[in-house]
Amino acid sequence: MRETEVLVVGGGPAGLSAAIEAASFGAKVTLMDSDLALGGQLIKQTHKFFGSKNERAGTRGFKIAEELFKELKEREENIETFTNCTVTGYYKEDGVVSCVKGEDEYFHVKPKKIVMATGAQERIIPFPNNHLPGVYGAGAVQTLMNVYGVVPGERVLMVGAGNIGLIVSYQLMQAGVKVVGIVEAMNKIGGYWVHAAKVRRLGVPIYLRHTVKEAIGDRFVEGAVIQEIDEKFQPTGNEKKLDVDIICLAVGLTPTCELLWQAGCKMSFVPQLCGYVAQRDKNMRTSHPDIWVAGDAAGIEEASSAMVEGRIAGLGVVKALGYGAPEEIQGRLEEYHMRLADLRGGEVGAKIREGIALCSVESWEV
């Protein structure tokens, strides 16, 4: 059976960062991603990132992915990469992981330590006809447009004014697609105000306290009805029909955590982090002594924090494996913890701070 010191599951911003950090101390890393290419959501992000210089603020997401790939390449003697390879199971009895590469190559790996950086899944909301072709998740729209260069349609209703809804609206406009409107159930936009201002000044209306009532169409989306809702999210009767061929859902993500459940990690339901997440210590170790978690799988947040969390998990793993000088590792950890605290410091980070407090433990040692 194939053996490895560190298995990193997921090659997005968190997984790449964890792999790079662990390999830089000499650990032998196996990095697996179910997609055809590494980079996770980063490769679809054509907008510039926020944060500080350390998080490469002002750089477009896909450029950040390129920089991470470069770092990965510099450590290639310590990192073996598998793409188009899905980790399908974790067997508690012997710590063996099952994987499927492509459609029919099935094999097992026995890692000493695992970093679960499995990312997130998009949420869907129920409404009549939401099964019609033309109803997309925002991630799918981004993949079509920004990875494959295909416009999804001509006229879009965006559902949700969080950062993803706002950013994807802007990217749709960059691709020449008309964004007819954005509906948001809350009484204020959930994403950064500046992202909203960016689409507003290009003429996109944002309907607060509105939701999609139904999709119109027989075989595909030919329109949408939006409706106003009150503070209890009940319809007020105020409806509007929009001429659209795409309904794009940007109504949130939920952490992908099946493998963590399988491994028997202690889980908590934390609404602030958008679902079930593994309880973790400061360095992202779960209740399972050989499993760490990082990125959206540990709670839905920004890619900038995912990258720092990945670094922290990577360091946690090498520390446990006995690589590197303890004081050097400690120094780096402290720096990363400071960066994370900065990123989560403001009002927009308040929810994240609350959520993390609900699933953090001081130490797993007894």
What are the residues binding other proteins (CB under 8 A)?
Answer: 47-53, 57-60, 63, 161, 173-174, 176, 184, 187-189, 192-204, 206, 208, 304, 342-349
CB closer to other proteins out of 53 and 232: 53
* Closest CB 345 distance from other proteins, rounded Å: 5
Q: Name, in order, each residue with C-beta under 8 angstroms of 133's C-beta and a sequence gap of 6 or more.
A: 219, 220, 221
**Which residue, 76, 165, 180, is CA-closest to 122?**
165
* Closest CB 54 distance from other proteins, rounded Å: 10
Q: How far apart are CA 348 and CA 337, in angstroms?
A: 18
CB closer to other proteins out of 9 and 157: 157
CB closer to other proteins out of 149 and 326: 149
* Closest CB 297 distance from other proteins, rounded Å: 21
The DSSP 8-state label assigned to residue 147 in this structure reads I
Alpha helices of 143-240 — where are they, by DSSP H?
163-174, 193-200
* Closest CB 125 distance from other proteins, rounded Å: 20
* Closest CB 126 distance from other proteins, rounded Å: 25
* Closest CB 106 distance from other proteins, rounded Å: 43
CB closer to other proteins out of 195 and 213: 195
Secondary structure of 99-142 as H, E, C letters: EEECCCEEEEEEEEEEEECCCEEECCCCCCCCCCCCEEEHHHHH
**Which residue, 300, 281, 259, 13, is CA-closest to 114?**
259
Q: How far apart are CA 274 and CA 299, in angstroms?
A: 6
* Closest CB 232 distance from other proteins, rounded Å: 16
User: How far, CA to CA in Å, does 116 sit from each of 32, 65, 173?
Assistant: 10, 19, 35
User: How far, CA to CA in Å, does 226 sit from each of 158, 209, 244?
Assistant: 11, 10, 11
CB closer to other proteins out of 109 and 183: 183
CB environment 26-65: b (16+ within 10 A), e (fewer): ebbbbbbbbbeebbbbbbbbbbebbbeeebbeebebbebb
Q: Which amino acid is at 4?
A: T
CB closer to other proteins out of 206 and 356: 206
CB closer to other proteins out of 178 and 266: 178
Q: How far apart are CA 299 and CA 318, in angstroms?
A: 23
CB closer to other proteins out of 289 and 345: 345
* Closest CB 101 distance from other proteins, rounded Å: 36
